[in-house]
Amino acid sequence: MTEDVDAAVVSALYRRRLRLWRGASVAAFSVALLVAGVSVHRHASPLGPHLARLKVHGTIGSDVSLMTRALKTAEKDSSIKGLLLDIDSPGGAVTGGEALHDAVERFAKMKPVVVTMGGMGASAGYMIAVPAKRIFAQRGTLTGSIGVLMQSPDVSSLLDKVGVSVDELVSGPLKGQPSMVKPLSPEGRTMLQGVVNNLFEQFVTMVATGRHMPEEKVKALADGRPYTGQQALALGLIDSLGDEDDAKASLAKLCALPEDAKIETIGEKSKQFSLRHRLLGMIGGSFATLFGFGAEELLQNETLGIDGPVAIWKP
């Protein structure tokens, strides 16, 4: 009799555990379905088939990862059928321009890209435009300015006047070139000119490839000068004169979408105004302007200022 009671207790215990496991499994499965549903909802666009717009306004900084990530995401989004690249920039860091150029080029291999230029699309601003299917500019847009520059201030004569000397220890004769505290040596000048020349050749290749032009023709146009939109059209540097509406209509047609297709702006920064931005705002009007960049331009960059060689047009 006792054995029968014990067996009944054990059986009841097993049944209870089985119910608990079944309940837990059902709950886990329900949670998984809920999470999957939320994930699908987050990634499904309520716009349906539409266009993306990426704005590149102001000086291009060295770190453009926010925009390149946005392009990569848009490239994978099946509801985004094409990209309107909105450029109003004098250029900026060569590294930032190259990174954006490559990201636009990758996107353009998958989906159509059309560029609209505002007041300027020069130097690195033009570099990022060349992979596009069509480039629109207005008659007065300043574009082109194909070239690279590298500059470093030399305050050695000022230090001599105030009686300040700086000892500089370097591992090799070219390691300290350029330096703010001593003049550029002939060897240093030759070395840095070689760097600039190589970056220039890369820029020329990008333009020749994107615009389907012989490199010799690009080099003939690439003495650093800017061109108006009207001049650029005659030279083959752009495809059409027109504004953003014209560029969007062209893109919609390439994507087989109606002219009034919805457009989603991607790659925008947070509007939070941090302490760093406030400090930049205070110093930008004086210090930054000495180097040709205003506070507003610095605030638009991913990083403080611009590192390394630049492809920029400055009046």
24 or 269, which is more confident: 269
pLDDT value at 282 more than 50: no
CA dist list (Å): 250 to 30, 131, 212, 231: 47, 16, 20, 21
Residue 203 is predicted with a pLDDT of 97
Residue 192 is predicted with a pLDDT of 87
SS3 of residue 50 by DSSP: strand
Of the candidates 125, 61, 49, 123, which has an alpha carbon nearest to the alpha carbon of residue 87? 125
pLDDT value at 90 more than 70: yes
The DSSP 8-state label assigned to residue 164 in this structure reads -
User: Using CA atoms, how far apart are residues 282 and 270, in angstroms rounded to an integer?
Assistant: 20
pLDDT value at 224 more than 90: yes
Query: What's the mean pLDDT in 181-187?
Result: 82
User: Using CA atoms, how far apart are residues 105 and 127, in angstroms rounded to an integer?
Assistant: 11
The CATH class, in words, for 50-161+171-312 is: alpha beta
pLDDT value at 105 more than 80: yes
The helix or strand, by DSSP H or E, that contains position 188, with its residue range, turns out to be helix 186-211
Residue 314 is predicted with a pLDDT of 67
217 or 169, which is more confident: 217
Tell me the CA end-to-end span of the chain in Å, nearest whole number: 104
User: Using CA atoms, how far apart are residues 105 and 131, in angstroms rounded to an integer?
Assistant: 5
Residue 25 is predicted with a pLDDT of 54
Query: What's the mean pLDDT in 215-225?
Result: 96
Residue 162 is predicted with a pLDDT of 81
- At 301, give phi and psi (nearest 5°): -80, 160
Residue 119 is predicted with a pLDDT of 95
CA dist list (Å): 38 to 24, 31, 32, 274: 21, 11, 10, 32
Residue 13 is predicted with a pLDDT of 47
Residue 144 is predicted with a pLDDT of 96
User: Using CA atoms, how far apart are residues 123 and 239, in angstroms rounded to an integer?
Assistant: 17
Burial of 164 from C-beta contacts in 10 A (0-12 / 13-18 / 19+): exposed
- Share the mean pLDDT of the chain: 80
Question: Is-contact 154 183, C-beta < 8 A?
Answer: yes
pLDDT value at 73 more than 50: yes
The upper half-sphere exposure of residue 140, i.e. CA atoms within 13 Å in the direction of its Cβ, equals 1
Query: What's the mean pLDDT in 169-191?
Result: 81
Query: What's the mean pLDDT in 53-61?
Result: 96
Instruction: Give the pLDDT band (50/70/90) at residue 296.
Output: very low
pLDDT value at 37 more than 60: no
> Could you tell me which residues come within 8 angstroms of residue 275 by beta carbon, excluding any fewer than 6 positions away?
none
Residues labelled as active-site residues: 123, 175
User: Using CA atoms, how far apart are residues 5 and 60, in angstroms rounded to an integer?
Assistant: 82
Question: Is-contact 86 302, C-beta < 8 A?
Answer: no
